[in-house]
Amino acid sequence: MKDAQYSVLRKEQFDGFISRLSKLQRVVAPVARGYNNYSFEEVSSGNGISLKYIPTILPPKKYFMPQRETLLEFDTGRGLNSEAVVECEKMTIFGIHTCDLAGIQCLNMVFTERPRDYNYLMHKRKINIIGLECNEYCDEYASCALVNASTPSGGYDLFFTDLGDRFIVHINTQIGENIIESTKFFESAGKSDLEDLTELRAGKRTLFTKEVPVEPRYIPELFDRSYNSKVWDELGERCLACGNCTLVCPTCYCFDIKDEMDLGLKSGRRNRIWDSCQLESFARVAGGENFRKERSLRQKHRYYRKFRYPVEKFSRFFCTGCGRCSRTCMAGIKLKDTLNLLIEEFEETVSTLMEGNY
Amino acid sequence: MKKIALTNSQYIMKKGKILRTRQLTDFEKLFEISLEGGERLDHEPGQFIMLSVCGAGEIPISVSSSPSNISSSFEVCVRAVGKVTNALHKLEAGDEIGIRGPFGKGFPIRIFEGNDLLMVAGGLGIAPLRSLIKYVFDNRRDFGKVHILLGCKSPADILFLDEIEEWNQRMDVYYECTVDRAVPEWQGQVGRITTLIPGVHLEPERTFAVVVGPPVMYKFVIKELLAKNIPGRQIMVSFERHMKCGMGKCGHCQIQHVYACQDGPVFNYDEIKYLKESY
């Protein structure tokens, strides 16, 4: 086992690298999709790839947990016969930002926890990951520094950092090494390449600072004290319960399971499709009882599923700071604003208590 | 895209054959089901299964029979209320359905043993509770005093009438039933189920209470039980929630940080009293 290794890819070789890789297997990467919108899509050359992009409309979770996937095929023609299936293919995702790498790490934890989800695990096994560093903020909605997702911490086979005329590439796994070997466009990194990377990271430390004035380790307590906050009522009044925030979230994985029959009404399949806790029917039982009937309760649930509940279970936040929920919300509900309001309210309560004491 | 068969998927169903059906009321039907090859379901009272009518879908249903049953089949009591349950009601003996599970934490019967039991069911709550009642009757000497309180909307809604008649005859169980709305022929009590609790003679420190019913029922029943000085951890509640996977993933059954499908559906009051979403 060698030490962590770095290689260099000259910018003029990038197109050739992607072209060759795409001949070996399916490659998806961020491409421009109308004004200020990007999407992970299949590519066959490097030219179509947006190397500078704000988080894509949908995060790469769509490859790990497709919007619709068949879990089971059944035939009721002669009694009941069924078979569990997974549809997957080998592929490489190029250009995943650190926020989305963190999102995949969250999903990995959820679906590898027992009872394991073997559909997810099959997708995971088939997908190679090439990360891409953000040298600067994508826009004002991001809060990746707050949740410690602005710099890489694993979760990739290769990781690209743009150094102007070249990329420096961190090789994290043997799979990554194999990609380097099989495409033959890389040079080994020299001292000046590593120095440039160190300098860039040092610069990032002053550029990326926590976007909300709270120590991350106090966030669970902030939420413990905010369960009855009026902030949730305000969110409830504005929320349109469209479910966009959860669909674009890299760590939201709630799903529905629905059967679909062929026209002959004998055979069919059981599909898993994305669902959203923001929809009115999500927690409603057949008898009519609804355990999160109010939009305020559903918004609150979303935030607690990001900042409070997973801390207990997985020792991390399930917010990666990508900003997609804020960017997509039709009612202008912004994650950073919500956290700021909770902090303000908490500080008011504390100061009122203090005044009462003295 | 390549399609691969998964032999270890948690979504694989066992084949279940409907052996018998029995119409209990206009809306509730009892199904006796056997698994392929005579395999036992091997459940605990209070656990649930995921039941599939392929094409209509899959739903969580509590098991109504006791694991102490000699036969290897099991029973579920189903109200026709949605797409899958209505499709299930149309099936007959001989038809095949899909079964996954059992899932979840059932009633802690080992802890109940040697103690008195106060079982309180509202409406369809008798369906999961029947698995415990039957277990207790099959192992009656392992328990102290046994009370069963039943509340229904009207006499026509009472499920398992023939069995209830039998409980009424037994000398080793205190049984009472009340209906919200009586009919002229009704000879029993009239009123909410909470009205039955003050009259029960019990020793709170050695009594475990089990409550199954809709939120509006368990909320008030728990209040009465606490008034009887039964400690919170000795009050067990079984929750009904929307569920899609049974494995703590799909998110539908989540009560704050708790998953009803894995951490429940049976909880003690101390576990859930601070969870606002539990009622």
Using CA atoms, how far apart are residues B252 and A142, in angstroms rounded to an integer?
29
Phi then psi for residue A291, to 5 deg, are -85, -10
Domains and CATH numbers, chain B: 14-103 (2.40.30.10), 109-238 (3.40.50.80)
Contact A130, A96 (CB under 8 A): yes
Query: How many residues in total does chain B contain?
Result: 279
Please report which confidence band the pLDDT of residue B188 belongs to, taking 50, 70 and 90 as the band edges: confident
Q: Which residues of B touch A257 (CB under 8 A)?
A: 57-58, 244-245, 250
Please compute the mean of the pLDDT values over residues B106-128 and round it to a whole number. Answer: 95
**Nearest in space to B195 (alpha carbons), one of B220, B161, B231, B164:** B220
pLDDT at position A355, please? 65
Please compute the mean of the pLDDT values over residues B113-140 and round it to a whole number. Answer: 95
pLDDT at position B276, please? 85
Contact A170, A152 (CB under 8 A): yes
Using CA atoms, how far apart are residues B197 and B218, in angstroms rounded to an integer?
12
pLDDT at position A358, please? 47
Q: Which residues of A touch B1 (CB under 8 A)?
A: 87-89
Which of A85, A257, A286 minimises the CB distance to B81? A286
**Does B277 contact A256 at a Cβ distance shorter than 8 Å?**
no
Contact A147, A317 (CB under 8 A): yes
Contact A318, A325 (CB under 8 A): no
Contact B76, B64 (CB under 8 A): yes
Q: Which residues of A touch B3 (CB under 8 A)?
A: 70, 85-87
B129-158 pLDDT, tens digit each: 999 999 999 999 999 999 999 999 998 888
**Does B251 contact A277 at a Cβ distance shorter than 8 Å?**
yes
Phi then psi for residue A50, to 5 deg, are -90, 110
pLDDT at position A349, please? 80
Is the bond preceding B231 in cis, omega lying within 30 degrees of 0?
Answer: no
pLDDT at position A20, please? 96
Q: Which residues of A touch B247 (CB under 8 A)?
A: 115, 117
Bridge partners, residue A255, by sequence: A274
pLDDT at position B1, please? 82
Radius of gyration of chain A measured on its C-alpha atoms:
23
Contact A156, A150 (CB under 8 A): no
pLDDT at position A287, please? 82
pLDDT at position A4, please? 60
To the nearest whole angstrom, how far is the Cα of A269 from the nearest Cα of chain B?
8
B37-92 pLDDT, tens digit each: 999 999 999 999 999 999 999 999 999 999 998 899 999 999 999 999 999 999 99
pLDDT of B245 > 80? The answer is yes
Taking CB atoms within 8 Å and a gap of at least 24, the contacts of B20-25 are B20/B93, B21/B91, B21/B92, B21/B93, B24/B77, B24/B159, B24/B160, B25/B156, B25/B157, B25/B158, B25/B159
pLDDT at position B39, please? 95
Phi then psi for residue B90, to 5 deg, are -80, -15
pLDDT at position A353, please? 65
Q: Which of A25, A80, A254, A313 has the highest number of chain B CBs within 10 A, making it the mutation to test binding with B?
A: A80
Give the containing element (helix H, strand E) for A220. Answer: helix A219-224
Phi then psi for residue A132, to 5 deg, are -140, 125
**Nearest in space to B147 (alpha carbons), one of B43, B239, B230, B61:** B230
Question: ipTM value of the model?
Answer: 0.91
pLDDT at position A286, please? 85
% of chain B surpassing 90 pLDDT: 84
To the nearest whole angstrom, how far is the Cα of B91 from the nearest Cα of chain A?
12
Unique residue bearing structure tokens 């029993």? B188
Which of A80, A88, A110 minimises the CB distance to B97? A80
Kindly give the parts of chain A with pLDDT less than 50: 1, 358
